Amino acid sequence: MNDKFLNLLGMARKSGKLSLGHDAAISSIVKNKAKLCIISFEGSERLKKEMAHACSFEDKNIPVLITKYETLELSKAIGSKAAVITVDDEGFGKALQERYNEDI
């Protein structure tokens, strides 16, 4: 895996700074732990809308990043299958956004 974004995502996972999957991501958002929401490009429109709404509900202003990655690519990076991931650490959240924007 030569992709810097995916490598950093894997490091965040090893550090225990991610919430994986729909239910865990919603819980992280509700508890104000989430700093970034990452969604696979092939996630359903319903999932994308629901997560965008949750991330902006009550002025939360959590950035939502709909990536160029398939669920399989994200899953390989984190070692678990998930189409939606929240990053629960501000440092990792900012770094992942920067890395993603560098790659575009």
Number of domains making up the chain: 1
Domain that holds residue 32: 4-103
Q: Tell me the CATH number at 32.
A: 3.30.1330.30
Each residue's pLDDT expressed in tens, for the chain with a length of 104 residues? 458 999 999 999 999 999 999 999 999 999 999 999 999 999 999 999 999 999 999 889 999 999 999 999 999 999 999 999 999 999 999 999 999 988 76
The answer to whether 78 and 7 are in contact (CB under 8 A) is no
Q: What is the pTM of this model?
A: 0.94
What contacts 67, CB < 8 A, 6 or more positions away? 5, 38, 39, 40, 41, 74, 100
Q: How far apart are CA 31 and CA 3, in angstroms?
A: 31
Sequence-ordered list of residues with C-beta below 8 angstroms from that of 1, at least 6 positions apart, any chain:
7, 10, 76, 77
